[in-house]
Amino acid sequence: MKNIKIVITTFLTLVLLMSSCSPDTYSLDAVTDKSDIDYEITQDFAVDPGGNTVKLTNKTPGVVLTWDYVTGKSNKATETVKYAFKGNYTIKIRAVTGGGIVELDPYTVTVTQDNLNYVNDPLWNLLTGGVGKSKTWLLDLNADGVSKYFIGPMYFYGADNGWLEGGDNGCYGASCWNWLPEWKGNTWIAAKGDYGSMTFSLEGGPFLKTDHKMMASYGQESGTFFLDADAKTLTTSNATILHTNENENCVDNWHSMKIMSLTENTLQVGVLRKGSCDGAATLVFNFISKDYSDNWVPKDVPDPNPAIDLNGGSVDDLLSTTTTTTKTWALSKDSPFNWTDLTGAFLNPWNTVADYPDWAAFTAADQATVVKNKISFSDDGTVKTVKSDGTTTSGTYTTSTDGTNIITFGGINPSFAIGNSWASVSTTTKNQWKIVKTAKTGNVVTDIWFGKRDEVKSEYMVFHFVLSN
């Protein structure tokens, strides 16, 4: 084992320390001499005859060493690096001490044999195409504002979210949440444009080339990368992943990332957002392979019809047919509004008034008023609304016969205030609702969520009504 001790004279970072004896007396931390910095770099030839496995050990208390080992960076006290390809690797070392930053002499290790077992992993193959190959990835947003696989170029997760196929739905700590915005309704997330490309290669080494067409300060970069298939992390050196200008200053380290998901056609990479930028979070960038993008054909796909329980009858039966030929539905006092995706899955976990966040502005004080908003459907095709202030309105309605569960109103535009919230019940520009969800109590459908289709985003705002008679 080779014990390397290095001596250097370098610049000082001035630190003023207040003396305990006098407020006007200051002193400097002593200069750290590199002869005082003790560390080891060893190659484990028992594991790899070619010296592919290298152990980096910091043996100096109170000093943090930053290792730049070509395929990645680390500031761990003990780090094990595995080089898959033979060659000379120059390790740069920087010491962070009380007296300042000390640049230590670089140290070169020589690897004499390839050990492709270190990159012979399904994730390595998905990212690069395999040993001797390369694979190019694009951010999933183009100059036309089109995302071809995801619903946008970026998603947002909690600081402790990670690999989405592991843990508890990708949760590995206390800060776990997600927001998956559709770009069409949230264009502030990223400017549309040609973001360029990034290519991961295993042609003679783990190389990364990135062409940042939307970020002139980066331009074209060439570097290396390391994928930790077990930890599901990605580190890069001298090259960064494609990302957006909007978040450039909110990330301290663009070289250390989480792999959130990786398939043949898609890649999701997460970086940690600083707490000063609306709180710590994982910014997830969504990529598609260039091959997928080149072969993508847009499809005109109609909205799916969420599976709802009509209790064995039709929409007309559900809305109005009883022994009195009329059913009255009151706006739920517990969860009057929410949003769903096009399949009917709720986008917010709001089941009681206590679940609503402050920004929704719906509180327990609104419940007594909300429940007074009612709508009555009669089997003769007439409809009547009663607002919380007692105002009544009448009109007609028809229901679709094609299985889409759409209600079209005539002579009336059902609308209700939801307490003091900014949110309100209303219909689409076509004066329609779609039944998105139902719920039963025993054998009776007692809850309906009427959906208002968003004209831009692929979602419904849903209004929860409860059977009143």
Collect all residues with Cβ–Cβ distance below 8 Å to 196 and sequence separation of at least 6: 138, 210, 211, 212, 213, 214, 242
Q: Residue 351: which CATH number?
A: 2.40.128
More confident residue, 313 or 340: 340
pLDDT over threshold 50, residue 412: yes
What's the pLDDT score for residue 27?
43
Looking at the structure, do residues 31 and 140 belong to the same domain, yes or no? no
pLDDT over threshold 80, residue 341: yes
Residue 187 inside a domain? The answer is yes
pLDDT over threshold 80, residue 394: yes
Looking at the structure, do residues 220 and 331 belong to the same domain, yes or no? no
pLDDT over threshold 60, residue 1: no
Residue 308 inside a domain? The answer is no
200 class by beta-carbon count within 10 Å (0-12 exposed, 13-18 middle, 19+ buried): buried
Question: Which has the closest alpha carbon to 83: 46, 114, 105?
Answer: 114
What's the pLDDT score for residue 30?
55
Residue 461's domain spans which residues? Answer: 315-467
Looking at the structure, do residues 198 and 328 belong to the same domain, yes or no? no
Q: Which of 115, 130, 165 is the last residue of a domain?
A: 115
3-state secondary structure of 309: coil
Binned at pLDDT 50, 70 and 90, residue 29 comes out as low
Looking at the structure, do residues 131 and 97 belong to the same domain, yes or no? no
Q: Which of 115, 150, 179 is the last residue of a domain?
A: 115
Question: pLDDT tens, 126-162?
Answer: 999 999 999 999 999 999 999 999 999 999 999 999 9
What's the pLDDT score for residue 384?
97
Looking at the structure, do residues 108 and 136 belong to the same domain, yes or no? no
Helices and strands counted in the chain (H then E)? 4, 32
Looking at the structure, do residues 263 and 132 belong to the same domain, yes or no? yes
Looking at the structure, do residues 347 and 447 belong to the same domain, yes or no? yes
**394-423 exposure pattern, b = at least 16 Cβ within 10 A, e = fewer:** ebebebeeeeebbbebeebebebbbbebeb
Question: Which has the closest alpha carbon to 339: 447, 183, 463, 155?
Answer: 463
- The structure tokens listed for 342 are 């096009």
Mean pLDDT across 204-229 = 94
Residue 307 inside a domain? The answer is no
Looking at the structure, do residues 154 and 54 belong to the same domain, yes or no? no
pLDDT over threshold 60, residue 11: no
What's the pLDDT score for residue 167?
67
Binned at pLDDT 50, 70 and 90, residue 15 comes out as very low
Residue 326 inside a domain? The answer is yes
Residue 302 inside a domain? The answer is no
Mean pLDDT across 213-236 = 93
Looking at the structure, do residues 64 and 92 belong to the same domain, yes or no? yes
SS (H, E, C) the chain: CCEEEECCCCCCCCCCEECCCCCCCEECCCCCCHHHEEEEEEECCCCCCCCCEEEEEECCCCCEEEEECCCCEECCCEEEEECCCCEEEEEEEEEEECCEEEECCCEEEEECCCCHHHCCCHHHHHHHCCCCCEEEEEECCCCCCCCCCCCCCEEEECCCECCCCCCCCCECCCCCCEECCCHHHCHHHCCCCCCEEEEEECCCCCEEEEEECCCCCCCEEEEEEEEECCCCEEEEECCCCCCCHHHHHHECCCCEEEEEEECCCEEEEEEEECCCCCCCEEEEEEEEEHHHHHCCCCCCCCCCCCCCCCCCCCHHHHHCCCCCCEEEEEECCCCCEEEEECCCCECCCCCCHHHCCHHHCCCHHHHHHHCCCEEEEECCCEEEEECCCCCEEEEEEEECCCCCCEEEEECCCCCEECCCCCCEECCCCCCEEEEEEEEEECCEEEEEEEEEECCCCCEEEEEEEEECC
Looking at the structure, do residues 455 and 364 belong to the same domain, yes or no? yes
Residue 305 inside a domain? The answer is no
Question: Which has the closest alpha carbon to 421: 342, 333, 344, 346?
Answer: 333
Q: Which of 115, 137, 159 is the last residue of a domain?
A: 115
Binned at pLDDT 50, 70 and 90, residue 67 comes out as very high
- Count of domains observed in the chain: 3
pLDDT over threshold 80, residue 19: no
pTM higher than 0.75 for the full model? no
pLDDT over threshold 70, residue 265: yes
pLDDT over threshold 80, residue 23: no
What's the pLDDT score for residue 98?
83
Mean pLDDT across 379-406 = 94
What's the pLDDT score for residue 323?
63
Looking at the structure, do residues 104 and 126 belong to the same domain, yes or no? no
What's the pLDDT score for residue 20?
39
Q: Residue 82: which CATH number?
A: 2.60.40.10
Residue 303 inside a domain? The answer is no
pLDDT over threshold 70, residue 193: yes
What's the pLDDT score for residue 25?
42
3-state secondary structure of 123: helix
Question: pLDDT tens, 311-334?
Answer: 777 888 888 876 668 999 999 999
Tell me the percentage of the chain whose pLDDT exceeds 70.
Answer: 92
Looking at the structure, do residues 128 and 245 belong to the same domain, yes or no? yes
pLDDT over threshold 70, residue 95: yes
Mean pLDDT across 213-221 = 95
Residue 82 inside a domain? The answer is yes
